[in-house]
Amino acid sequence: MQYLHRYRAYLSYWLNAIDEHSLHAPFLFRFVTDVIRARPVPDPFIESLRARLLRDDREMEIRDLGSGASSYPTARRISSVARKSLSTPRLSYLYQHMIRYYGCRTIIELGTSLGVNTLYLARSEEAEVYTFEGAPTLAALARGHFKDAGQENIHVVEGDIDATLPTFVETGVKADWVLIDANHTEAATLRYFNLLLKTLHDDSIVVIDDIHQSPGMESAWQQVQGHKRVRATADLYRCGIVFFSPLLNKQHAVLRM
């Protein structure tokens, strides 16, 4: 049933997506031409790591707290986790380029998984990345990857995000860029988004992964779009991007990648 939903969702996206030539809003026009259209520059170390993970058939015990917690076995191959959880290289680079283009320094990522995306986020100069992971074995594996990469600006927050995120928010950290890529359910996504609002300022950017994965995720995306603090959104099918600047006119666009 989920495959049918995704087929319909992608068909709708394909029919409605526009490019920069159909945009009248200067902000979104520049977002397409300067950010989305930027030529991807893969990171050799990270892409070598990605390739190794996709071939790694070692098994590890995973306590999955996300949306698939009831359906996935405890013992899983690393290659299986990689196939399910890794963003495409193009999407990882888009995130990195977005952070650099808008000068984002404080980054929050919900859902570390194997740490491949995290490394792309952390490669931005002067960035400090706070990444949250509920599965201890995944957090440990990711820490090893960060150490191998020599990346010292990544802070792993381990534990159930429903417990660790509220505590973190109370520290008063202000986030420039946020990726919500954990527990892909309507309730959890909205819960995380509403909590993270306390960390955001007018120039913050929030990215929500897999907005068309299920009817529930599409509902969450629509509710985010309607939030009174949200000024502009971009639907790239695989993810949704949210902008908060009060200088923007209220606008929502479905954009081709």
The string of pLDDT tens digits covering residues 171-227 is 999 999 999 999 999 999 999 999 999 999 999 999 999 999 999 999 999 999 999
Judge whether 242 lies within some domain.
yes
Judge whether 14 lies within some domain.
yes
Closest CA to 206 of 186, 183, 184, 234: 234
Integer Cα distance of 247 and 159 in angstroms: 37
Closest CA to 175 of 222, 209, 134, 207: 207
Count of domains observed in the chain: 1
Integer Cα distance of 116 and 89 in angstroms: 9
Domain containing residue 12? 2-43+86-254
The string of pLDDT tens digits covering residues 79-106 is 999 999 999 999 999 999 999 999 999 9
Instruction: Using a cut of 0.85, tell me whether the model's pTM lies above it.
Output: yes
Q: How confident is the model at residue 65 (pLDDT cuts 50, 70, 90)?
A: low
Q: Which two tokens stand for residue 238?
A: 């695989």
Judge whether 114 lies within some domain.
yes
Integer Cα distance of 198 and 242 in angstroms: 15
Judge whether 63 lies within some domain.
no
**CATH number, residue 144:** 3.40.50.150
Phi, psi angle pair for 151, to nearest 5°: -95, 105
Judge whether 78 lies within some domain.
no
- Asked if 132 contacts 175 with a C-beta cutoff of 8 angstroms, the reply is no
